[in-house]
Amino acid sequence: MNMQSTPESPVWKVATETGRLTEVLLCRPDHYNWIPTNAIARATISAGRPLDRQALMAEYSEFEAALSEAGVNCHYLTPDPALSYQVYTRDSSQVSPGGPVLTMLAMPQRRGEYAAILDFYGQTFWHMATHGTVEGGDIHLIRPGLAAIGTSGGRTSVEGATQYADWLRAEGWDVILVPFDDHFLHLDVIFCMVTPGLALACLDALPPEFLTWLAANGIEVLPVSYRDAMADMGCNLLALGNDRVLSPRHSITVNAALRAQGITVYDPELRLFAHGGGSAHCMTMPLARDPD
């Protein structure tokens, strides 16, 4: 379904994970709380950790400051008191080569996020998901013409991934579907692009065919351990372009490996958000990037 933009609604387009990020969609965590919708959050809740709201808001302010320092212009959804995980804007829409796509969220606790998405984008949707489920954390626009979509069945189904892949394939893209265990929530928990030729990956959690496909497309992989991927959300960073990333301060091992590769790392504290099952990649939906 193609929809026309209104004069007040720009048509955002993104065709790469690693071009210089200029515009991003966020949602402030006014109503954030940990809810048991993924393995990481369930472990946090089971451990009886308290959620310090003052510390949470301080982390978010540091996150916003890092984006500002990196020259990124921030746009915001309106927070809804009924939506504890609205801060994770990666999932509820996907800005794509033809414009924004309205995704189909799997968890009942998050389905209401569509309302603020409709309000923000206006009538500028390239497509709207109608078959199965598909969430932005599983969609990786690696570079123009090349994409990977995770299919755990927990959040993104094969049907939903295939529908989105077919929209890209109709535009001439090469798209691979990447099956993985739904324990890992989204593909961006175990895989993320850093630069056009470099990615982070939790090797034991990904199928060998995907790793072979990455190598065949000239993408080097920095390995991330299971512990760093799940406890610290170490793969879940945001590429800023020009050999820069935003990666949480507590990802000590990953950040050291990135700096050894010559990558500039902006490292705000995001531990409380990571305890809920999301970090820098989950908390951002890029609206516009420069070409690589």
Which CATH number fits the domain that encloses residue 228? Answer: 3.75.10.10
Residue 7 lies in a domain: no
- On whether the CB atoms of residues 206 and 190 are closer than 8 A, the answer is yes
Residue 8 lies in a domain: no
pLDDT tens-digit profile, the chain (292 residues): 334 444 456 779 999 999 999 999 999 999 999 999 999 999 999 999 899 999 999 999 999 999 999 999 999 999 999 999 999 999 999 999 999 999 999 999 999 999 999 999 997 899 999 999 999 999 999 999 999 999 999 999 999 999 999 999 999 999 999 999 999 999 999 999 999 999 999 999 999 999 999 999 999 999 999 999 999 999 999 999 999 999 999 999 999 999 999 999 999 999 999 999 999 999 999 999 999 8
Residue 126 lies in a domain: yes
Residue 10 lies in a domain: no
Side by side, which strands form the sheet with 73-76? 73-76, 21-26, 285-289
Rounded to 10 degrees, the C-alpha dihedral 5/157/109/53 comes to -90
Residue 154 lies in a domain: yes
pTM of the entire structure?
A: 0.95
Residue type, 100: P
Contact partners, residue 53, CB within 8 Å, separation at least 6: none
Domain extent, residue 246, equals 21-289
Contact partners, residue 78, CB within 8 Å, separation at least 6: 27, 116, 119
Residue type, 184: F
Residue 272 lies in a domain: yes
Beta strand 238-239 with 244-246: parallel, antiparallel or unpaired?
Answer: antiparallel
Residue 13 lies in a domain: no
Structural element, H or E, at residue 226? helix 226-231
Q: Based on the structure, what is the number of domains in the chain?
A: 1
145: left (phi over 0), alpha (psi -120 to 50) or beta: left
